[in-house]
Amino acid sequence: AQSVSQHNHHVILSEAASLELGCNYSYGGTVNLFWYVQYPGQHLQLLLKYFSGDPLVKGIKGFEAEFIKSKFSFNLRKPSVQWSDTAEYFCAVSPSGTYKYIFGTGTRLKVLA
Amino acid sequence: SAVISQKPSRDICQRGTSLTIQCQVDSQVTMMFWYRQQPGQSLTLIATANQGSEATYESGFVIDKFPISRPNLTFSTLTVSNMSPEDSSIYLCSVEPTGAGELFFGEGSRLTVL
């Protein structure tokens, strides 16, 4: 069955620390990849997405993610986090040509000021 | 893009009752999606609602428990019927506008069943 794994459920960092959140998926075909973020009290919104081309994708607010096809991974990174990055982050996969999205369980990030 | 409004934002309900959640989109969309987010779990697709046809339910979800209406291209409702505490969850309405290549979400409806 298709699935998405996010290895870190809770992450606590100090401001200016570097961030990397892991995401692995299981699906044999071509996929589109996403990271969504949910700030406290707000709705889910797209952080970045990958469809094809350069496997290093840049998103909003200084976030980037790298698609490594051989590892079925799409890890999210940010070199220096801010207190305002405190949120829950969801990795999602959508098999190409479908409307189905498979979400990971999310990672709660808390950034200490 | 799309702006989605959901009502209610939260509710506390008694076991055995039903609750209808409304979803309004600011633009016409072909498909609307209903997700459930249980505590500590990922978002799970309940069903896909197309205007003018019956909703398509995912494995583990049935129409009798989660009836859906889709009267037009900007509105949908999800009813959670005969609720039990296991139905306590956040229910999310979502759309993927044509050509957008991403999902847009409502704020969610947090349901607590006592």
Could you give the CA distance from residue A111 to residue B18 in angstroms, rounded to a whole number?
39
CA dist A53 to A27, A32, A50, A56, B15, Å?
Answer: 19, 11, 8, 9, 51
CA dist B77 to A68, B49, B96, Å?
Answer: 39, 9, 17
Interface test with B, best of A46, A49, A50 (most B CBs within 10 A): A46
Q: Tell me, what's the pLDDT at A10?
A: 95
Token pair of A66 as six digits:
């790298």
Per-residue tens of pLDDT for chain B, all 114 residues: 899 999 999 999 999 999 999 999 999 998 899 999 988 888 999 999 988 888 999 999 999 999 999 999 999 999 999 999 999 999 999 999 888 889 999 999 999 999
Q: Spell out a b/e string for A82-113, using b for 16 or more CB atoms within 10 Å of the CB, else e.
A: eeebbbbbbbbbbbeeeeebbbbbbbebebee
The reply to whether omega before B8 is within 30° of 0 (cis) is: yes
Q: Quick check: B92 and A44 CB within 8 A?
A: yes
CB-nearest to B102 from A4, A34, A42 is A34
| B106 vs A: CB within 8 A | yes
